[in-house]
Amino acid sequence: MSSAISQEILDHILDQLCFDRASLAASSLVAHRWLDTPRRHLFSVVRVSAKNVIAFAALLEEQRCTFRRHITGLEIDLVRGSQQWFVELSTRLQPLGITAQCTSMSLRGPQVRKEVQESLVRYYNNLEKFRVGPAKFDSVQDLTDVLGQLPHLRILDLQAAFTNSFTDLPSQSPASPLRELSLSSTSIHGVLPSLIDCGALEHVTLLSFTQVRAQDLPVIRRYLSIQNTTLEALDIAVYLPYLGVSDGPSLYLFNPWLRFLTTSIRYIC
């Protein structure tokens, strides 16, 4: 019966199931011409850890593997100790073309070590979306060095903490203008000043701060005091136990240009 429906209409119908993985998996078993669209959604982002990396890489290298062309994002679960397995994985993915087609990356774990940072820069030059956290870098400098060598980066979501919060070295500017930025409490104090100083926020349209603490307020005020004609939406989530009720109203800054934004300031108890 599906043969009476054009492939374009069929693909559009299946696209509506993009958030229902069980239905996508079931649809892929109906007929051969139903297969491609569910696979595109099911395998667009895959999660890899030290536990499954060997089997995952071996599966992708199989000649009969038909879903690797759909992989456009990786979610990486890092562990303590050596993270050389991520380097080896990237080395095996490169000849398959997966590192080149990968446009999103998510890192989480106790520590992002040097070998992972070097592999990101070497193999994943087409990243447009980069999410870090919860995770820890040795320094802000380590993170900005990575950002400075990702030429297509547009969306940055950081829940990163830093072993050494301050550095005397100049921070490197991101290689491309950021469009969307989300910073959690652990990243605001360390990262936001560096991004302001290097002019990396001039083209940001969506900006989000979560779990804001008292120590984060001065740098947020500093950013908001500079008129940004490209900013369209601002979201600030204040966690009152971090901030203190008496300091909450100080976030309402009376900058005339802010009234044109879609602004949300939420207080979480």
Q: Tens digits of per-residue pLDDT, 138-196? A: 988 899 899 999 999 999 999 988 887 655 445 667 778 899 999 998 899 888 988 88
Residue 227: pLDDT band by 50, 70, 90 thresholds? confident
| pLDDT value, residue 223 | 86
What's the pTM? Answer: 0.85
* 35/149 same-domain check: no
* 27/136 same-domain check: no
* 164/153 same-domain check: yes
For residue 239, the tally of other CB atoms under 10 A from its CB is 15
* 116/98 same-domain check: yes
Q: Where are the beta strands (DSSP E) in the chain?
A: 45-49, 73-77, 104-108, 129-139, 155-164, 180-183, 206-212, 233-239, 262-268
For residue 268, which of 239, 234, 227 has the smallest C-alpha distance? 239
- pLDDT over 70 (residue 117): yes
Sign for the CA dihedral angle at 154, 117, 135, 251 comes to: negative
Distance CA 233, CA 7 (A): 38
* 188/264 same-domain check: yes
- pLDDT over 90 (residue 101): yes
| pLDDT value, residue 249 | 44
Domain presence at residue 89: yes
* 116/24 same-domain check: no
Domain presence at residue 2: no
Domain presence at residue 103: yes
Question: Residue 162 sits in which domain range?
Answer: 44-268
Q: Are 187 and 213 in contact (CB under 8 A)?
A: no
For residue 140, which of 172, 111, 115, 118 has the smallest C-alpha distance? 172
Chain position carrying tokens 């069929």? 10
* 104/53 same-domain check: yes
Rg (CA), the chain: 21
- pLDDT over 50 (residue 200): yes
Domain presence at residue 255: yes
* 82/52 same-domain check: yes
Domain presence at residue 1: no
* 77/17 same-domain check: no
Domain presence at residue 23: yes
* 23/105 same-domain check: no
- The mean pLDDT value of the chain amounts to 85
- DSSP symbols for 180-212: EEEE-HHHHHHHHHHHHHTTTTTT--EEEEEEE
Domain presence at residue 117: yes
Domain presence at residue 180: yes
Share of the chain above pLDDT 90, in %: 43
Chain position carrying tokens 């994943």? 124
Number of domains in the chain: 2
* 32/104 same-domain check: no
Domain at 126, CATH number:
3.80.10
* 221/202 same-domain check: yes
